[in-house]
Structure 1
């Protein structure tokens, strides 16, 4: 078997297997794809009061999002300017000020350095230049996003083609139903992203979704967002949980009739997804850990609704989607394992696989080496 690098027929082929496991490629991908991308952190209602904060950790960085005394929401690297200690630990909290646990350097909620013990030890210290380092932040319909490097469109610009469809869901008024869940997966993050936007596997591998939607699941790819959707059938499912969900889901009066029985999905390039249901909204992101490890970070939100039927529908939604997640976990693990075979070369992408074609095209544009069947010589990224 020849191992000489050769080009993929990029327009109609999936990405090569080596980029789903190669450490050198992974490092390049993190710099060119993930660091400049928007990552969702929380909802503004999660940090409604002054001093409330939440964190997100990825790519060796920890970012803290915090509401100031002035009501503004800001983002900073969670790193003390003195000796690099993490300032806060955990996923969330509330503080009147941020004090480093190592040497007690203290910062105001707006990031200013306001306290330095033994200040006389630092002649000429300019506190004004030693505040917490800011991270770019954007709030889109109540959800707070950050990115480590600037460049590219805003979240609002990315979602603009679908903003009219999202508007009725009243995202700004959502409140968390629980806490952030972290689910490790022994696969490359792109396998999770590929699977999320893949429509062909639904009737093959997800019998529950097929019972709910029939053959009516649709996908489309925009410049920065993939959209998937399925409308619940009137025909009762043979599965107890699915049938109960169909029967008990109460009308969401704030939604137009066409959306009251629709499950709607958006994936923002490259690794953030929103699952939008009549009863709740989930965000999910696929955070790369290593070439073969991914951390899925997710949480559910909903509008206040004390109806017994709505509470039951949300529980049934959870039961249905836990099964779907188990099915997807087995699928992506099998793909990751198959990509380790030297016999595998990129397979064809059908004309209907618009989301996978779009994803592959973006990756190849940002990293031309992704056009190769086999990895180039070690050290290529330094050339």
Structure 2
């Protein structure tokens, strides 16, 4: 098959997607095809997931030299490892000889990865160290594992699949003035939990970015978090929160740098919102669940939220943190991974109770999984027509436009 014929065969699918984008009705949700069409999903992978930075976790998951963990996104498997010099590397789990997986365990400690097929051996920085019985003129340096771009900011590990990644400087700056105030660089992972979801990844993300559903769907969350109210109703609560934060000598910078990647910049939006009066943290009854972190000497009754790159979301309380990862698996399945952070020297059973620490977001995410899957089943109807976005869904409206801009631009 010639190149012209191959292009002719895929062009109709590309034209169909571009037509869907052009026909999108402003102020409304996405039509069924954006969640059901395999061609749309393939473009999502190419223009969202392979273009943007993704937070995959906290550096404390691989604390020692030789530690590694395997991460899977769609059909890609990525090894993230710590080298002897302390540097963190990420590379595809694909042997450069015949393509076999070189790492067969989900996590562990190893100086080398030996391909089980023909025993090509790679160091934990991805370089090829041995290729048995290859000719003398074989260049090992040209056949290391395919490396991904890696950045570590405030203890968070980010990877990017693109050959030329988006500028990361705005991310570093924003995380320094937000997560940095909460001491995330010195934090550790207290717990991780993955929720499989029978829905397209966008339905999961759209659910996360809006709190219009918080009142009816999350009664536990809504007892403590004022974000469940329209913005105009919590102005006074937010003002008192900021006064308390400033009184502690803490300046948490917020900023809206949510932008498409047309100019080579990553998207990030940081904002703050209040907990209800008398509430200290995100817990069942609003009481503290861990020792204070970072620069906090008291609770300020607030939360800092960060939306980053389209798939990574962070929540900062004074006594713990949350990383929310959205991971596509297939066109109609995805995963949500939650990662709980506590102060680096905190001890389970002494400084925090794991059940109390994780209660609220476990309950909330289980509820989210249910309503996302309810939505996915409804969207599968051939008669589904999206309705107008409500005023409280302003972040979803912006996310949808960002997404359309991204997949519409080659």
TM-score by length of 2: 0.78
Query: Out of 258, 272, 292, which is 2:332 matched to?
Result: 292
Contact persistence 2:291–2:346 (CA under 8 A): no
TM-superposed CA distance for 1:275, in Å, is 2.6
**Mean alpha-carbon deviation: is it higher for 124-133 or for 343-352?**
343-352
Distance in 1, Cα, partners of 2:23 & 2:302: 38
Q: Aligned residue for 2:109?
A: 94
Query: Out of 129, 142, 145, which is 2:155 matched to?
Result: 142
Label 1:282 to 1:89 Cα distance change in 2 as closer, same or farther (>3 A).
Answer: farther
TM-superposed CA distance for 1:193, in Å, is 0.5
Q: CA-to-partner distance for each residue in 1:45-86, whole Å, 9 max, x for gaps?
A: 222222111221113111112222222222211122222111
TM-superposed CA distance for 1:266, in Å, is 2.0
Query: Out of 301, 320, 329, which is 1:261 matched to?
Result: 301
**Mean alpha-carbon deviation: is it higher for 142-151 or for 284-293?**
142-151
Q: CA-to-partner distance for each residue in 1:97-124, whole Å, 9 max, x for gaps?
A: 22222222112233322222234xx353
TM-superposed CA distance for 1:343, in Å, is 2.7
Contact persistence 1:62–1:78 (CA under 8 A): yes
Distance in 2, Cα, partners of 1:101 & 1:169: 43
- Structure 2: gaps spanning 5 or more residues: 1-18, 232-254, 259-266
Q: Aligned residue for 1:206?
A: 218
Contact persistence 1:51–1:66 (CA under 8 A): yes
Q: Aligned residue for 1:279?
A: 319
Contact persistence 2:77–2:93 (CA under 8 A): yes
Question: Is 1:166 the counterpart of 2:206 in the alignment?
Answer: no
Q: Aligned Cα RMSD in Å?
A: 3.0
Q: Aligned residue for 1:13?
A: 28
Q: Aligned residue for 2:72?
A: 57
Contact persistence 1:280–1:302 (CA under 8 A): yes
Q: Aligned residue for 1:30?
A: 45
Q: Aligned residue for 1:189?
A: 201
Q: Aligned residue for 2:377?
A: 337
TM-score by length of 1: 0.83
TM-superposed CA distance for 1:27, in Å, is 1.0
Higher relative contact order, chain-length normalized (CA < 8 Å, sep 6+) = 1
Distance in 2, Cα, partners of 1:320 & 1:339: 28
For residue 114 of structure 1, give the secondary structure of its aligned residue in structure 2.
strand
Q: CA-to-partner distance for each residue in 1:251-273, whole Å, 9 max, x for gaps?
A: 62644478543343322121112
Aligned residues: 357
